[in-house]
């Protein structure tokens, strides 16, 4: 069934019933001297190209490969359109490895035709903090599909991760592979319902008119919580403390330090937005919310070419109720002209989704670990990890 995945150290569907297998690494590390020294062979017309994301021309090539060939919804109406600035942010976190930005080019034309990436992360599974690679942006040009190129890309990124003495990875996918640690649902909160309906992202509910729908999703003009403001550099230490204490509650979550928080959560225009509540009395930072910006191209629509979507990222509430905090996040996203606010049912998100008028989407997101078993998996609410 899975000619490639059957050969890999991942939970195999056939082991699902075996409760004797312990949590933790599936296979031990091998000595670095035994890690294959040279790249896996590609079909003769192609060559490996380690990408330099500081090179603007390369960045635009990667952007275009993904803009035309990356993930679509099940009816091929929308395709993710990660911006160049977003890609640079996603792929150059603290201590990133350039060797993990792996392109495949056509030898003759030098055209970029495939890509896969990893970035380093510390991820905690129960009590165990593990150095991992987060694998993302696996993409093969539409004209080169079903030729078994993806397994070559995956083996090559695995080899380069092993060369850094890292033996585990985390990744997400919309497709089912052996074997998810959990399966999450996407939820969507309309901010610009008329446009969403016009492009086929959502539908007019039964017995609903357009004007009733617009009224249903109306939001105040400005955030309601006193002390709600954008995160700044001076907040990094306070946000790190809040976030570390919060993420400790989940079974699988990143282990963020201040350097990580500065990279992943300090606001960057049209890439990542973070807000917090600073108590007007004590000036203590008590609550935090964030979202990242990932537009989608609208395929085959005469009026609109893109949807501007915000994706819920990390949120922490200690004083402001989470629902009120997320309502303020919706308000600022609406003010910034986003069309839709998306969230997964991870962490405590279930507690506000219905109340804030999110509706379930038709997409799922499966979470995976490579070479790390978690017996029986976990619930989405036990997951404290959001990948981009």
The residues annotated with a catalytic role in the active site are 388
Q: Is 85 in the site for ligand EN5 (CB under 6 A)?
A: no
- The CB-of-37 to ligand EN5 minimum distance in angstroms stands at 31
- The CB-of-96 to ligand NHW minimum distance in angstroms stands at 15
The secondary structure of 349-362 as a DSSP string is THHHHTTTT-EEEE
The window from 141-149, 265-273, 295-303, 318-326 that contacts ligand NHW (CB under 6 A) reads: 141-149
CA angle 301, 307, 309 (to 5 degrees): 160
**Given the structure tokens 């009733």, which residue do they identify?**
212
Name the maximum alpha-carbon separation found in the chain: 67
- The CB-of-157 to ligand NHW minimum distance in angstroms stands at 5
Q: Is 266 in the site for ligand EN5 (CB under 6 A)?
A: no
- Could you give the CA distance from residue 180 to residue 12 in angstroms, rounded to a whole number? 10
Nearest alpha carbon to residue 292 among 328, 253, 264: 264
Q: Is 201 in the site for ligand EN5 (CB under 6 A)?
A: yes
- Could you give the CA distance from residue 266 to residue 239 in angstroms, rounded to a whole number? 10
Half-sphere exposure in the Cβ direction for 203 (13 Å, CA): 6
Work out which of 175, 281, 282, 337 binds ligand NHW, going by CB under 6 A: 175
User: Dihedral sign, CA of 351, 352, 357, 362?
Assistant: negative
The option from ligand EN5, ligand NHW, none interacting with 317 (CB < 5 to 8 A, set by class) reads none
Of the pair 225, 371, the CB lying nearest ligand NHW is at 371
The option from ligand NHW, ligand EN5, none interacting with 167 (CB < 5 to 8 A, set by class) reads ligand NHW
Work out which of 18, 38, 74, 108 binds ligand EN5, going by CB under 6 A: 74
- Could you give the CA distance from residue 232 to residue 213 in angstroms, rounded to a whole number? 36
The secondary structure of 175-227 as a DSSP string is S--S--SEEEEEEEEESSHHHHHHTTSS-PPTT--HHHHHHHT---SS--STT
Residues 139-198, interacting with ligand EN5 (CB under 6 A): 172-174, 186, 188, 190
The window from 45-53, 146-154, 192-200, 250-258 that contacts ligand NHW (CB under 6 A) reads: 146-154
- The CB-of-156 to ligand NHW minimum distance in angstroms stands at 9
The option from ligand NHW, ligand EN5, none interacting with 149 (CB < 5 to 8 A, set by class) reads ligand NHW
Pairing, β 309-312 against β 340-344: parallel
The secondary structure of 245-299 as a DSSP string is HHHTTSSEEE---HHHHHHHHS-BTTTEEEEEEE-TTT--EEEEEEEEE--EEET
- The CB-of-355 to ligand NHW minimum distance in angstroms stands at 30
| Residue 332: both structure tokens together | 């600022």
Residues 347-386, interacting with ligand EN5 (CB under 6 A): 359, 361-363, 365
Of the pair 181, 388, the CB lying nearest ligand EN5 is at 388
Q: Is 169 in the site for ligand NHW (CB under 6 A)?
A: yes
Of the pair 232, 362, the CB lying nearest ligand EN5 is at 362
Q: Is 384 within 8 Å of 250 (Cβ atoms)?
A: yes
Q: Total residues at the site for ligand NHW (CB under 6 A)? A: 35
Question: What does the binding site for ligand EN5 look like in residue numbers (CB under 6 A)?
Answer: 71, 73-75, 77, 136, 172-174, 186, 188, 190, 201-202, 359, 361-363, 365, 387-388
Question: What does the binding site for ligand NHW look like in residue numbers (CB under 6 A)?
Answer: 2-5, 69-71, 133, 135-140, 145-151, 154, 157-158, 161, 167-169, 171-173, 175, 177, 370-371
């Amino acid at each position: 069934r899975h000619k490639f995945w059957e050969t890999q150290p991942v939970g195999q569907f056939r082991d699902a019933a075996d409760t004797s297998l312990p949590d933790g690494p599936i296979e031990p590390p091998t000595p670095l001297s035994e890690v294959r020294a040279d790249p896996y062979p590609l079909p003769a017309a192609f060559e490996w190209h380690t990408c330099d994301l500081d090179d603007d021309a390369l960045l635009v090539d990667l952007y275009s490969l993904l803009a035309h060939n990356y993930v679509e919804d099940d009816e091929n109406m929308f395709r993710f359109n990660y911006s160049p600035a977003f890609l640079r942010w996603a792929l150059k976190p603290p201590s990133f490895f350039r060797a993990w930005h792996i392109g495949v080019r056509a030898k003759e034309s030098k055209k970029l035709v495939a890509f896969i990436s990893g970035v380093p992360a510390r991820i905690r599974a129960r009590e165990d903090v593990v150095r991992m690679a987060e694998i993302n942006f696996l993409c093969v040009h539409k004209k080169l599909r079903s030729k078994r190129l993806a397994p070559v890309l995956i083996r090559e990124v695995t080899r380069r991760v092993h060369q850094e003495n890292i033996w585990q990875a985390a990744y997400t996918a919309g497709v089912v592979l052996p074997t998810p640690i959990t399966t999450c649902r996407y939820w969507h909160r309309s901010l610009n319902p008329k446009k969403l309906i016009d492009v086929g992202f959502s539908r007019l509910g039964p017995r609903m008119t357009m004007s009733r729908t617009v009224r249903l999703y109306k939001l105040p003009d400005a955030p309601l919580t006193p002390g709600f403001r954008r995160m700044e550099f001076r907040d990094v230490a306070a946000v790190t403390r809040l976030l570390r204490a919060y993420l400790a509650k989940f079974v699988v979550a990143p282990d963020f330090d201040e350097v990580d928080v500065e990279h992943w959560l300090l606001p960057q225009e049209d890439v990542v937005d973070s807000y917090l509540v600073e108590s007007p009395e004590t000036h203590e930072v008590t609550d935090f919310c964030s979202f990242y910006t990932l537009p989608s191209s609208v395929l085959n629509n005469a009026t609109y070419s893109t949807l501007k979507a915000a994706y819920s990222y990390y949120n922490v509430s200690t004083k402001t109720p989470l629902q009120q905090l997320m309502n303020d996040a919706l308000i600022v996203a609406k003010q910034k002209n986003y069309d839709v606010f998306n969230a997964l049912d991870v962490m405590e998100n279930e507690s506000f989704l219905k109340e804030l008028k999110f509706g379930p989407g038709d997409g799922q997101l499966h979470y995976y670990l490579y070479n790390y078993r978690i017996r029986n998996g976990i619930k989405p609410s036990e997951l404290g990890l959001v990948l981009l």
